[in-house]
Amino acid sequence: MNCEQCQELIQELIDGSISQRDEFTLNTHLKDCLDCESVRQDLTSILSFCETHRGEYEAPPNEQALWLRIRNVIEAENAPYLVPQTGSLQPSFFKRLMGQTWELSFPQLASLTAAIVLLVSLTTVVGLRRWGGTTEVSHAAPVVQVSNVNDRIFQRRQVINYWNQRVEVNKARWSPEMRETFDRNMRVIDEAVANSLNDLNRNPHDEVSEQMLNESLNDKLALLKEFSDL
């Protein structure tokens, strides 16, 4: 009997479930092996202490909560092993990649280094061309801004066209004086729109021209709406 078999039988001995034959063999070994005898004595001492002091321990406050916390900790620790239920149990690509041993020959290593250098160079050149020059940035911004202004003007003109059509339908009912008044005022507003637009075309960054353009377009829209009721 070796020590490993002996320690398994010690458990059975303490439990009282050991056979007579095993008990004889175990006792024979224990007489010769001081280590195993020491293990038997330790276990017997622990058991006898527990039996003697059974019921004397103090329950922790809120015992149920303590057990729940322990259970949560255990479940959390086991969670990574439960997740693969939906997929394969194989480790991820990254883990396999990192866990792999790389053995490269000198030509392979040289090729890999050259490829990395080439990739970094290309990325740098493309990056500098796209974002590097301050002059190009300053030219790009106005294009976007002008485009936005033009979009806004286009949208506003669509609305103006709609109301213009409504006015044209009703215009026949107006008196000649009212028609003249409307046309005269529309010309004045159109002139204001044109002037603001010219100023804005000359200087796309001009805040005042943009404000005046917006206001004149709003005025035109308001005039059309108010006269469409007549």
Partner 1 sequence: MRRKFIPGRGPVRASFLTITTLLTLISLSTAVAVNAQQQMSKRYPGGKNVRIELRNISGLIVVESWNKNEIRLTATIESKNAHVVPRQVNDCLMVDVMGDNRGRGDVGDINFKLQVPVNSSVDVETRRGDIRVSNIRSGLVRAHVSSEGDIELSNISATHVVAQNVIGNIFFDGEFSSGGTYEFKSTKGDITIRVPGNSAFRLVAASPTRQIKLNDFWNDGFKSQDGRKVVGDVGDGRSSVSVTNFSGQITFLRK
Closest approach of partner 1 to the CB of residue 157, in Å: 18
Q: In the bound complex, what is the minimum distance in angstroms from residue 126's beta carbon to partner 1?
A: 41
- Where along the sequence are the contacts to partner 1 (CB under 8 A)? 173-175, 178, 181-182, 184-185, 188-189, 191-192, 195-196, 199, 207-209, 211-212, 215-216, 219, 222-223, 226-227, 229-230
Q: What are the residues whose beta carbons fall under 8 Å from the beta carbon of 49, sequence distance 6 or more?
A: none
Q: How far apart are CA 150 and CA 140, in angstroms?
A: 16
C-alpha distances in Å from residue 4, one per residue of 19, 44, 134? 18, 18, 78
Whichever of 27 and 198 has its CB closer to partner 1, that residue is 198
- Minimum CB distance to partner 1 smaller for 6 or for 196: 196
Tokens linked to 108: 């392979």
CB of 185 to partner 1, least distance (A): 4
* Smallest separation (angstroms) from partner 1 to the CB of 166: 14
Q: Name the residue nearer to partner 1 (CB basis): 103 or 229.
A: 229
Nearer to partner 1, 8 or 226 (CB): 226
Closer Cβ to partner 1, 109 or 222, answer by number: 222
Q: How far is the CB of 179 from partner 1 (least distance, A)?
A: 10
What amino acid occupies position 152?
R
Show Cβ contacts of residue 224 under 8 Å, excluding neighbours closer than 6 positions.
Answer: 160, 163, 164, 166, 167
Burial of 30 (0-12, 13-18, 19+ CB in 10 A): buried
Nearer to partner 1 by Cβ, of 10 and 216: the residue is 216
CB of 196 to partner 1, least distance (A): 7
